[in-house]
Chains A and B, each alone.
Chain A
Amino acid sequence: ETGVTQTPRHLVMGMTNKKSLKCEQHLGHNAMYWYKQSAKKPLELMFVYNFKEQTENNSVPSRFSPECPNSSHLFLHLHTLQPEDSALYLCASSQVEQGRGGYTFGSGTRLTVV
């Protein structure tokens, strides 16, 4: 338990399904992030929420939809995904003050799109 909890740990979904990934942080941080990790590729930053406002989306396809209802919770809503979206999705949180410390990551959700 790192202070950032992600559920579910594993998810298999069809291309026509709708599902959501959940992330919760218990650290009092004021920023949360979604990263995508595909095999043999660097982590890709998908979404950033600073003080609950989305500040970055890095041209992520609209089939991925983030939601941040408060500073402790972050969701990633998924619909009509493609097989190439299969990856490990990692949530992280941090305290946004320059140089104060690193990110705390959750254990990730392993997503398989069939």
Chain B
Amino acid sequence: SQQGEEDPQALSIQEGENATMNCSYKTSINNLQWYRQNSGRGLVHLILIRSNEREKHSGRLRVTLDTSKKSSSLLITASRAADTASYFCATENDYKLSFGAGTTVTVRA
């Protein structure tokens, strides 16, 4: 069943700009993960943030987690054309991963 909901559904930015997307969820979680999917392919794991963490960085990615608001954000800095993809948040609870509907990001050259 769907747990996370991403916002916005779609985002179009210029190369070099930052992209921010948000995720809200409903129940308690062990961790929250972000994935990227290029058109029609499998998902690629980007970053995992545990429920007791507030912020995490990986390269040009920055993820925040606010468990009191049941929300997370993913920031991609200095975007590139290769960042064009769909991005999904997923919450893990009881060893199962539930996904949101995703944010489609288009980076214009």
Contacts and interface: CB of A to CB of B under 8 A. Distances in A.
A1 to B, nearest CB: 11
Contacts of B1: 58
Contacts of B48: 99, 101-102
Given A99-B31, A110-B40, A31 B95 contact: yes
Contact of A42 (B30, B50, B100): B100
Interface residues on B, range: 20 to 34
B35 A50 contact: no
B45 A104 contact: yes
A107 B42 contact: yes
Contacts of B100: 42
B64 interface: no
A59 B29 CA distance: 23
A104 B35 CA distance: 10
A13 interface: no
B43 interface: yes
Contacts of B30: 98-99
Nearest to B34: A102
A101 B45 CA distance: 9
Interface of A: 2, 4, 6, 31, 33, 35, 40-43, 45, 48, 50, 56, 58, 88, 90, 92, 94, 96, 98-99, 101-108, 110
Interface of B: 1-2, 30-31, 33, 35, 40-45, 48, 50, 88, 95-102
Given A33-B97, A35-B99, 11 more contacts: A2-B42, A6-B42, A31-B95, A40-B101, A42-B102, A45-B96, A48-B96, A90-B42, A103-B45, A105-B43, A108-B41
